[in-house]
């Protein structure tokens, strides 16, 4: 970072992460995958996802998307729907994902590692270690891979085939998997120690906590994780007409919604927390309520009432507070206020714990029900034995677990190579900060593209997925809401800048400044590119879309043509990329296509960033006509751009008259509807117009 003369820090792109990437536990390069989608490069977007996350299919369905929570667009209207874009990418690149798989890694080391548990953290670590050339064996007690993803997340949120896509990809790296092999039962921990140079405990929190209240042994009481496992495996637990779920977290919500799909007339969810305190995501709570689940807040279970050994109801007492002054879990109750709910079934979803029985008798230290583990080195008390995932962090998200899986692979690889513990640096992530309110106030608002979930009455009938994937048009549209934070204008050639103030005066967001030379604070720039277009020294460029690259692409395209054979008139059309609703016009044009159609399209993120030189140069390349096609009325993301563009076009038209080309050879068009609908019509119409060259006029 360098300090600007105003004293504020000027964060340079590349040093600080965008807020979305910083918030993601694996720091997915969000801007880049979204930018690739907006250009129709879905395969390239998948490459970006897979760089850091082997579970993009899972995350596209169920991620709690901390990226969206920190999206700077929330300062303008609503966050970009990053999870839905991610899901679109994964679902539209299936064949590519299979094709891009490399052959299984060859084992390059004589060192071996065993991973206990095939959840997201264990599989991530296994894959990373396999890619580093170690022999990796994964031991999974169950007959499915994925851990809680396979057994605890109901299919309406995460269908098995969505998980399978990620797992198949991971397995292709060549890791060895032993399914149905429970460590401590089918193979002893000591045996694993003998056979391997390092062990990773990634068993997660696979068992439910029970409740220390009377009646929990009654028929009709279920433990949450067991219940979800049964549901996931098609063993429909028999619920009564009225079912009550205890717990206020996301797992409890999953249980309640799964229970609702098994047919009870009434499903309640009761928790200690008030509505505001509930740890479940608010959108999950809302969807549960839409499905008819009644939420009973601030009630603590006192006893499960039974009749002839079976559940008859549950008695609650009022919960006054859940946490003490230090925010520790320490509920207080008002015994004088009670409530009895008549139900036939009770499912306990108040939290999970690890099953560490396989460590009994081993030197690995366990403190109560918790594994002793150093968070920084991920090491347990026993050399060569490490831990990751929820067994180390406590309850968390899938993407968090993936993050610890990557870290575990790093520390294990270090241990295997050096025999030493690696303390992971306490990484301090710098992000670019909030979008300044003054900038946000200038930005135009565009509605987030939302999809309709299946109607509540329909969706509770079975476990079918309830959320449709974005259509291509929706995904493209939403991707363009991304502000492309910190990839905007910068002074590419500081010694060219004459400090003329044009950038500062023209910037529609009040971002550009001049202090001897121009600078555009990266935290604020909205990437419209107007300053670059008007800079008289061509000293400014836009990181996300360099002018030079656009010109080179155009020159290269023309160089590949036989100009004698191009259909005349040869039209070069600058089009706003935001007008496309499919890949029809986003894909590269072949020389044959250009020559046959007589149209070369050049897509730019905003045609407002075309300079006069950009508007003249196509004629130098041999174009007979140049069309500039802008967004539909009020469709431009940037304020006042259209006015500046039309002024630039007017100047260029006069110049074209002077140089003998004729002003009418350059025309500005406005799209009607989408580009897919209107561009071809615009091109055909413009090509058909007979224009006399205005030489000498």
Partner 1 sequence: MIVADPKPFLQVKGYLEDFGKILVVGCGTCTTVCLSGGEAEVQILASGLRIAFGKEGRQKTILEDCIQRHCDLEFVTPILSRVEAEGVDAVVSLACGVGVNFLADRLGNVPIYPGLNTTFYGANAQQGLWTEMCAGCGSCIVAHTGGICPVARCSKHLLNGPCGGSEKGKCEVDPKNIECVWQLIYDRLKRLGRLDDLRNLLPPKDWSTASDGGVRRSAREQLYDVK
Would you tell me which residues interact with partner 1 (CB under 8 A)? 495-496, 498-502, 505-506, 535-539, 611-613, 616-617, 619-620, 655, 658-661, 695
User: In which region does residue 289 sit, left (phi positive, over 0), alpha (psi from -120 to 50) or beta (all else)?
Assistant: alpha
Closest by alpha carbon to 665, among 680, 679, 654, 676? Answer: 654
Tokens of 412: 């294990």
Tokens of 109: 């080391």
| Rounded distance between C-alpha atoms, residue 345 and residue 244, angstroms | 6
| Rounded distance between C-alpha atoms, residue 440 and residue 58, angstroms | 33
| Rounded distance between C-alpha atoms, residue 580 and residue 674, angstroms | 6
Give 417-470 as a DSSP string: HHSS--PPP-----B--PPPHHHHHHSPP------PPPPHHHHTTS-----PPP
Length of the chain: 697
- Measured from the CB atom, the residue of 409 and 626 that comes closer to partner 1 is 626
CB burial string 206-222: b at 16+ within 10 A, e below: bbbbebeeebbebebbb
Q: How far is the CB of 563 from partner 1 (least distance, A)?
A: 12
**In whole angstroms, how far apart are CA 555 and each of 116, 548, 558, 572, 621?**
56, 10, 5, 11, 7
| Rounded distance between C-alpha atoms, residue 464 and residue 468, angstroms | 11
The one-character DSSP state at 675 is H
Q: How far is the CB of 641 from partner 1 (least distance, A)?
A: 16
Q: How far is the CB of 640 from partner 1 (least distance, A)?
A: 13
Q: How far is the CB of 440 from partner 1 (least distance, A)?
A: 25
Going through 297-452 in order, the beta strands assigned E by DSSP cover: 299-307, 310-323, 329-341, 345-348, 352-353, 366-367, 370-371, 385-387
Tokens of 240: 């009564």
Q: Which residues pair with 391 in a beta bridge?
A: none
Closest by alpha carbon to 375, among 362, 357, 388? Answer: 388
User: In which region does residue 204 sit, left (phi positive, over 0), alpha (psi from -120 to 50) or beta (all else)?
Assistant: left
Give 574-639 as a DSSP string: EEEGGG-SSSTTTSPPPHHHHHHHTEEEEEES-GGG--HHHHHHHHHHT-SEEEEEEPSTT--SST
Residue 252 makes CB contacts below 8 A (sequence gap 6+) with 224, 245, 246, 269, 271, 280, 349, 350
* Relative orientation angle of helices 612-621 and 641-658, to the nearest 10 degrees: 40
SS3 category, 25: coil
What is the DSSP pairing of strand 135-140 with strand 176-179? parallel
Q: How far is the CB of 696 from partner 1 (least distance, A)?
A: 9
Q: How far is the CB of 544 from partner 1 (least distance, A)?
A: 21
Q: How far is the CB of 505 from partner 1 (least distance, A)?
A: 5
- Measured from the CB atom, the residue of 397 and 611 that comes closer to partner 1 is 611
Q: Are 657 and 616 in contact (CB under 8 A)?
A: no
- Measured from the CB atom, the residue of 462 and 658 that comes closer to partner 1 is 658
CB burial string 361-373: b at 16+ within 10 A, e below: ebebebeeeebeb
Q: What's the count of helices (H) and strands (E) in the chain, helices before strands?
A: 26, 27
Q: How far is the CB of 172 from partner 1 (least distance, A)?
A: 51
| Rounded distance between C-alpha atoms, residue 69 and residue 523, angstroms | 18
Q: How far is the CB of 518 from partner 1 (least distance, A)?
A: 12
SS3 category, 315: strand
| C-alpha neighbours within 13 Å on the C-beta side of residue 59 | 31
| Rounded distance between C-alpha atoms, residue 641 and residue 532, angstroms | 13
- Measured from the CB atom, the residue of 486 and 533 that comes closer to partner 1 is 533
Q: How far is the CB of 598 from partner 1 (least distance, A)?
A: 19
Q: How far is the CB of 503 from partner 1 (least distance, A)?
A: 11
Q: How far is the CB of 594 from partner 1 (least distance, A)?
A: 20
Give 189-243 as a DSSP string: HHHHHHH-SEEEE-----EE----STTTTSBTEEEHHHHHHHHHTT------SEE
- Measured from the CB atom, the residue of 391 and 661 that comes closer to partner 1 is 661
């Amino acid at each position: 970072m360098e300090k600007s003369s105003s004293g504020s820090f000027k964060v340079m792109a590349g040093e600080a992460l965008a807020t979305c990437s910083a918030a993601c536990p694996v720091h997915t390069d969000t801007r880049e995958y979204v930018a690739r989608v907006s250009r129709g490069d879905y395969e390239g977007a998948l490459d970006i996802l897979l760089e850091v996350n082997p579970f993009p299919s899972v995350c596209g369905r169920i991620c709690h998307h901390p990226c969206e929570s920190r999206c700077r667009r929330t300062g303008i209207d609503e966050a970009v729907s990053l999870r839905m874009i991610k899901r679109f990418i994964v679902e539209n690149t299936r064949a590519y994902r299979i094709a891009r798989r490399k052959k299984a890694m060859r084992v390059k080391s004589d060192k071996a590692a065993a991973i206990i548990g095939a959840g997201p953290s264990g599989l991530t670590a296994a894959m990373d270690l396999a890619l580093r050339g170690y022999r990796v064996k994964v031991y999974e007690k169950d007959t499915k891979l994925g851990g809680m993803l396979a057994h605890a997340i109901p299919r309406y949120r995460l269908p098995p085939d969505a998980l399978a896509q990620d797992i198949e990809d991971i397995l292709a790296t060549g890791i060895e998997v032993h399914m149905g092999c429970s460590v401590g039962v089918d193979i002893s921990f000591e045996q694993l120690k003998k056979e391997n140079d390092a062990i990773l405990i990634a068993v997660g929190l696979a068992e439910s906590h029970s409740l220390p209240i009377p009646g929990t042994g009654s028929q009709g009481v279920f433990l949450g994780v067991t219940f979800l496992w049964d549901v996931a495996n098609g063993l429909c637990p028999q619920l009564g007409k009225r079912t009550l779920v205890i717990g206020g977290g996301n797992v409890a919500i999953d249980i309640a919604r799964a229970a609702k799909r098994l047919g009870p007339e009434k499903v309640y969810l009761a928790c200690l927390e008030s509505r505001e305190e509930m740890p479940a995501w608010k959108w999950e709570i809302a969807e549960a309520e839409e499905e008819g689940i009644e939420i009973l807040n601030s009630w603590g279970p006192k006893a499960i009432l039974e009749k002839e050994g079976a559940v008859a109801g549950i008695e609650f007492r009022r919960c006054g507070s859940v946490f003490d002054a230090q925010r520790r879990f320490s509920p207080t109750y008002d015994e004088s206020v009670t409530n009895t709910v008549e139900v036939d079934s009770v499912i306990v979803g108040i939290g999970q714990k690890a099953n560490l029985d396989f460590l009994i008798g081993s030197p690995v230290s366990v403190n109560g029900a918790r594994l002793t583990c150093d968070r920084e080195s991920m090491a347990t008390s026993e050399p060569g034995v490490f831990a990751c995932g929820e067994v180390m962090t406590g309850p968390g998200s899938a993407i968090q677990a993936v993050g610890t899986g990557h870290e575990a692979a790093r520390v294990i690889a270090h241990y295997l190579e050096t025999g030493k513990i690696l303390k992971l640096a306490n990484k301090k992530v710098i992000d670019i900060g909030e979008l300044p309110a003054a900038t946000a106030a200038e930005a135009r608002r565009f509605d987030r593209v939302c999809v309709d979930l299946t109607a509540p009455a329909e969706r509770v009938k079975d476990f079918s997925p309830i959320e449709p994937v974005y259509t291509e048009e929706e995904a493209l549209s939403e991707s363009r809401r991304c502000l492309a934070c910190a990839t905007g204008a910068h002074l590419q050639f500081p010694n060219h800048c004459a400090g003329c103030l044009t950038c500062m005066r023209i910037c529609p967001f009040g971002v550009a400044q001049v202090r001897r030379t121009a600078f555009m604070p990266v935290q604020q720039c909205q990437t419209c590119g107007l300053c670059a277009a008007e800079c008289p020294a061509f000293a400014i460029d836009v990181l996300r879309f360099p002018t030079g690259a656009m010109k080179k692409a155009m020159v290269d395209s023309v160089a590949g043509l036989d100009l004698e054979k191009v259909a005349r008139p040869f039209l070069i059309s600058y089009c706003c990329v935001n007008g496309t609703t499919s890949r029809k016009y986003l894909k590269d044009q072949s020389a044959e296509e250009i020559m046959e159609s007589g149209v070369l399209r050049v897509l730019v993120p905003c045609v407002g960033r075309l300079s006069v030189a950009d508007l003249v140069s196509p004629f130098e390349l041999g174009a007979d006509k140049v069309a500039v096609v802008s967004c539909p009325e009020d469709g431009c993301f940037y304020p006042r751009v259209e006015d500046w563009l039309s002024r630039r076009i007017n100047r260029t038209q006069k110049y074209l008259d002077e140089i003998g080309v004729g002003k009418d050879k350059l025309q500005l068009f406005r799209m009607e509807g989408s580009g897919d609908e209107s561009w071809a019509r615009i091109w055909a119409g413009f090509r058909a117009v007979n224009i006399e060259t205005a030489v000498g006029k």
